Amino acid sequence: MKTIYSVIITVLLFSCGNQSAISKKLSGSDSLVITFNLPDSDSVLNIVSTNEKKAILKLSGFLNGKPAGQDQCGYDGNMKFYKNGSEVLAVIFKYSNDSCRHFLFELDNNVIRTSMSNEATNFLKSLAEGREWY
């Protein structure tokens, strides 16, 4: 019986130790506001906000993509993650151009650009269109 508990504790400690820097930064985020702009403009198309943990975790998980190139192809909006009313992280994104889809944010004084998966693209498109399913 002690062996089973030891294995469970080891697995839990190991999995907690493997969190990415972005996961650590966003752990405890309790709200999220996403602003969708008309492509390559400052005109707001839609604003979505949520405090649903499932949605926050899903969107924060999308930020762990592979490093993306330095293409300057504009932006479609931004996401702001909050904890207790204070902004934790601001993320700029581009999803409307198939050849240039990415997230851009600053983490530990480094500008990071990660590629956006098809799942992330579809999720953001559905939110921009007013669907609120997570």
pLDDT surpasses 90 at 30: yes
How would you write 34-96 as a 3-class SS string? EEEECCCCCCEEEEEEECCHHHHHHHHHHCCCCECCCCCCCCCEEEEEEECCEEEEEEEEEEE
**Residue range 43-53: mean pLDDT, rounded:** 92
Q: Is residue 65 part of a domain?
A: yes
User: What is the pLDDT confidence band of residue 5, given thresholds at 50, 70 and 90?
Assistant: very low
Q: Is residue 11 part of a domain?
A: no
Tell me the per-residue pLDDT of 104-119, one tens digit each, with 9 for 90 and over. Answer: 999 999 999 999 999 9
**How many structural domains comprise the chain?**
1
Beta bridge partners of 106: 111
Length of the chain: 134
User: What is the pLDDT confidence band of residue 51, given thresholds at 50, 70 and 90?
Assistant: very high
pTM over 0.75, yes/no = yes
Q: Is residue 133 part of a domain?
A: no
How would you write 86-102 as a 3-class SS string? EEEEEEEEEEEECCEEE
Q: Is residue 9 part of a domain?
A: no
Lowest mean pLDDT among 1-5, 54-58, 98-102: 1-5
Q: Is residue 7 part of a domain?
A: no
pLDDT surpasses 60 at 134: no
Q: Is residue 6 part of a domain?
A: no
The residue type at 117: S
Q: Is residue 68 part of a domain?
A: yes
In terms of residue numbers, what domain contains 32?
21-128
Distance CA 58, CA 122 (A): 13
Q: Which residues of 24-34 are buried (b: 16+ CB within 10 A; e: fewer)?
A: ebbeebebbeb
Q: Is residue 134 part of a domain?
A: no
Higher pLDDT: 32 or 13? It is 32
